[in-house]
Amino acid sequence: MCQLLGMNSNTPTDICFSFTGFQARGGLTDHHQDGWGIAFFEERGVRLFLEAQATVNSPVAELVRNYPIHSLNVISHIRKATLGRIALENTHPFQRELWGRYWIFAHNGNLRDFKPPLDGSFTPVGDTDSEFAFCWLLQQLRNRFGREAPGDQALFDALRTLAGEIGAFGEFNFLLCDGMTLYAHCASRLAYLIRMTPFGHAHLSDQDLTVDFREHTHPNDRVAVIATVPLTDNEAWIALPRGTLHAFRDGAPMHYAEVETGAECEPGSSLDEKQCE
Amino acid sequence: MCQLLGMNSNTPTDICFSFTGFQARGGLTDHHQDGWGIAFFEERGVRLFLEAQATVNSPVAELVRNYPIHSLNVISHIRKATLGRIALENTHPFQRELWGRYWIFAHNGNLRDFKPPLDGSFTPVGDTDSEFAFCWLLQQLRNRFGREAPGDQALFDALRTLAGEIGAFGEFNFLLCDGMTLYAHCASRLAYLIRMTPFGHAHLSDQDLTVDFREHTHPNDRVAVIATVPLTDNEAWIALPRGTLHAFRDGAPMHYAEVETGAECEPGSSLDEKQCE
């Protein structure tokens, strides 16, 4: 299984501590050696670092671990290739632009036989089930809402429906971000915690490293960290219920809803009837 | 004026030597301190490193200078902000996907009052004239050719027309790449050279650094390097004629044509008549 890591905060925050533990799973404490990537939103821009190799011994991972990039939204992924060969174009997270915003997407799980028609507005570059699902999801958003981004609630509701439709084809844990909101869909395994005042010590599960957040934070800071498996062993991680979609903003949960997998095939969906029923 | 650097080769080649000279212009030997970026194609995938600050003292530039990423196509840009504030989303090169390929674009020059309608298929995230032109150019390609990429000659001819249309609004030197072909449009200043057997020594103009390419190459290697200003002081750089579009593939010039600026407003162009005439 691949591994996901997300961060959403109310003040630009670096992810060096969490990434230090996370990247150890790319060949050191776990066997996800088939590529990794991390995307940092900085205002409307994105920095996306990708490598089609293990994180251990990667000079780019070394840079990301030691160079504090301050961001409100981060998505990272470590890959264990299952569908799609080991190649840069198959490495998560994936990036596209919609409504004048960059969108970042990373997926954990396998989708089988998910091949609805694509209309050419977003086309996969690689051959993973994940990038295909991302392209279809953005296509459906554009078809539903046209040229302008909808409001928060309408967007959340659409993502909930689409997550359910795609989720009918397999395990569909994902992190998705448009630079403002970080969406987390838990099909089988995701956990999160909120770090806020009073800050304390945190100790990594994957490396013997402790940080005292009191030395690095202001009282108003608030950070949500979401991961496939908890990154620290002395903090109160909360397992997201299976079959739920969550929206995080400003370091806190904003929306939450159950996802009905495969039940909703809305008018305008390009999933054909056979696939939906 | 910003600075452009491109590389197109017939075998995966690192750009550490050229980038070492080029990045010195980002605050050391020249005053382009408002951001820089570099995109490496690796098969169909792209690695894009961006920073909205000077290259000197940048740990990411240090990484790129010392970590040999082997690529057939590279585009780099150092920014002196003129239109659009200093921000990551305004940092070149820009990336989009069309026809299941990533496209990378960097621009040198200023476009004034270039604001044709965009249909929402590609929308700028930042506020530069450059990203706007890139979005419009891709929109026009999709409108002209639909969901499938055309052949080489048809694509070249379309780019030639579009370069002329946009070039009517100002200085429009650009590098553009779809992972196979590197396109270079010279409005005012671009130079190139082909490195091939017999390889020799090259000495940077911006740093006192010499490389002996005989130690790093095979006899069949061939590399085209394109830059705003020649990077070395002992090689035979060729100035591209003003008003020309060039296509490089496999480390060699493939097509070449004069561009008639502002003359062609084709049916289907979304430039309105007032702007075209």
> Using 50, 70 and 90 to split pLDDT, how confident is the model at B272?
very low
Would the CB atoms of A147 and B120 count as touching at under 8 Å? yes
> Using 50, 70 and 90 to split pLDDT, how confident is the model at B265?
very low
> Using 50, 70 and 90 to split pLDDT, how confident is the model at A84?
confident
Let me know: does B193 contact B18? Beta carbons within 8 Å. Answer: no
CA distances from B101 to A38, B147, B231 (A): 21, 12, 30
Would the CB atoms of B91 and A45 count as touching at under 8 Å? yes
pLDDT of the residue at A36:
93
Of chain B, the end-to-end C-alpha distance in Å amounts to 28
Q: How many CB atoms are located within 10 Å of the residue B85 CB?
A: 12
For the segment B27-53, the average pLDDT, to the nearest whole number, is 88
Alpha carbon of A89: minimum distance to chain B alpha carbons (Å):
4
> Using 50, 70 and 90 to split pLDDT, how confident is the model at B32?
low
Which residue matches tokens 């001819």?
B157
pLDDT at residue A272 above 50?
Answer: no
Task: Answer with the residue of higher pLDDT: B67 or A81.
Answer: B67
pLDDT of the residue at B33:
78
Would the CB atoms of A59 and B63 count as touching at under 8 Å? yes
Would the CB atoms of A67 and B60 count as touching at under 8 Å? yes
What is the Cα–Cα distance from A156 to A183, expressed in whole angstroms? 9
Q: Which two tokens stand for residue B99?
A: 């026809």
pLDDT at residue A177 above 90?
Answer: yes
* Chain A interface disruption, residue of B49, B63, B65, B125, most A CBs within 10 A: B125
Alpha carbon of A147: minimum distance to chain B alpha carbons (Å):
5
Residues 6+ apart with CB under 8 A from A47: A39, A40, A69, B49, B50, B51, B88
Would the CB atoms of A120 and B142 count as touching at under 8 Å? yes
| CA angle at A6 for the pair A5 and A9, rounded to the nearest 5° | 150
> Using 50, 70 and 90 to split pLDDT, how confident is the model at B257?
very high
Which residue matches tokens 């060729």?
B238
| Cis ω for the linkage preceding B219 (within 30 of 0) | no
Q: Which two tokens stand for residue B97?
A: 């996907």
Task: Answer with the residue of higher pLDDT: A19 or A8.
Answer: A8
Would the CB atoms of B52 and A44 count as touching at under 8 Å? no
Alpha carbon of A25: minimum distance to chain B alpha carbons (Å):
22
What is the Cα–Cα distance from A46 to A71, expressed in whole angstroms? 10
pLDDT of the residue at A277:
27
Residues 6+ apart with CB under 8 A from A202: A17, A195, A210, A211, A213, A232, A234, A235
* Chain B interface disruption, residue of A42, A85, A134, most B CBs within 10 A: A42
Residues of B in contact with A122 (CB under 8 A): 97
Let me know: does A204 contact A237? Beta carbons within 8 Å. Answer: no
Nearest Cβ partner of A88 from B47, B123, B126? Answer: B47
| Catalytically annotated residues of B | 2
> Using 50, 70 and 90 to split pLDDT, how confident is the model at A261?
confident
Task: Answer with the residue of higher pLDDT: A26 or A154.
Answer: A154
Give percent of chain B above pLDDT 90: 73
Specify the pairing of strand A201-203 against strand A191-196: unpaired
pLDDT at residue A32 above 90?
Answer: no
pLDDT at residue B82 above 50?
Answer: yes
| DSSP 8-state class, residue B119 | -
Alpha carbon of A97: minimum distance to chain B alpha carbons (Å):
7
What is the Cα–Cα distance from A246 to A240, expressed in whole angstroms? 9
Average pLDDT of chain B is 90
Q: Which two tokens stand for residue B211?
A: 């490389």
pLDDT of the residue at B53:
86
pLDDT of the residue at A55:
80
Residues of B in contact with A52 (CB under 8 A): 42, 45
Q: Which residues of B touch A (CB under 8 A)?
A: 42-52, 59-60, 63, 66-67, 87-91, 95-102, 119-126, 142, 146-147
For the segment B91-108, the average pLDDT, to the nearest whole number, is 98
Alpha carbon of B197: minimum distance to chain A alpha carbons (Å):
30
Tell me how many residue pairs between chain A and chain B have CB atoms under 8 A apart: 97
Residues of B in contact with A50 (CB under 8 A): 45, 47
pLDDT by residue (tens digit) across B194-204? 999 999 899 99
Strand-pair partners of A50: A37
Which residue matches tokens 């995307």?
A39
What amino acid occupies position A30? D
Alpha carbon of A122: minimum distance to chain B alpha carbons (Å):
7
pLDDT by residue (tens digit) across A87-128? 999 999 999 999 999 999 999 999 999 999 999 999 999 999
> Using 50, 70 and 90 to split pLDDT, how confident is the model at A265?
very low
List the strands of the sheet with B101-108, edge to edge. B94-98, B101-108, B173-177, B182-186, B244-249, B252-258
Would the CB atoms of A125 and B52 count as touching at under 8 Å? no
What is the Cα–Cα distance from A214 to A196, expressed in whole angstroms? 10
Residues of A in contact with B138 (CB under 8 A): none
> Using 50, 70 and 90 to split pLDDT, how confident is the model at B275?
very low
For the segment B21-34, the average pLDDT, to the nearest whole number, is 76
Q: Complex ipTM, two decimals? A: 0.91
Residue B113 class from Cβ within 10 Å (0-12 exposed, 13-18 middle, 19+ buried)? Answer: exposed
Given CA atoms B64, B17, B183, B224 in this order, what sign does their dihedral have?
A: negative
Average pLDDT of chain A is 90
pLDDT by residue (tens digit) across B128-137? 999 999 999 9
| Cis ω for the linkage preceding A93 (within 30 of 0) | yes
* Secondary structure class of A168 (helix, strand, coil): coil
pLDDT of the residue at B125:
98
What is the Cα–Cα distance from A12 to A164, expressed in whole angstroms? 32
Residues of B in contact with A100 (CB under 8 A): 123-125
Let me know: does B249 contact B8? Beta carbons within 8 Å. Answer: yes
pLDDT of the residue at B31:
66
Q: Which residues of A261-276 are buried (b: 16+ CB within 10 A; e: fewer)?
A: bbebbeeebebeeebe
pLDDT of the residue at B273:
34
* Secondary structure class of B133 (helix, strand, coil): helix
Residues 6+ apart with CB under 8 A from A27: A33, A54, A55, A56, A57
Phi-psi region of A208 (alpha: psi -120 to 50; beta: other; left: phi over 0): beta
Nearest residue in A to B138, CA atom: A121
pLDDT of the residue at A152:
97
Let me know: does A76 contact A132? Beta carbons within 8 Å. Answer: no
Nearest Cβ partner of B59 from A49, A63, A89? Answer: A63
Please indicate, yes or no, whether the overall pTM of this predicted structure exceeds 0.90.
Answer: yes
Closest CA to B115 of B132, B92, B99, B137: B132
Residue B240 Cα to chain centre, angstroms: 14
Closest CA to A251 of A74, A29, A33, A28: A74
> Using 50, 70 and 90 to split pLDDT, how confident is the model at B1?
low
Nearest Cβ partner of A48 from B44, B48, B99? Answer: B48
Give percent of chain A above pLDDT 70: 92
Nearest Cβ partner of B125 from A97, A142, A147? Answer: A97
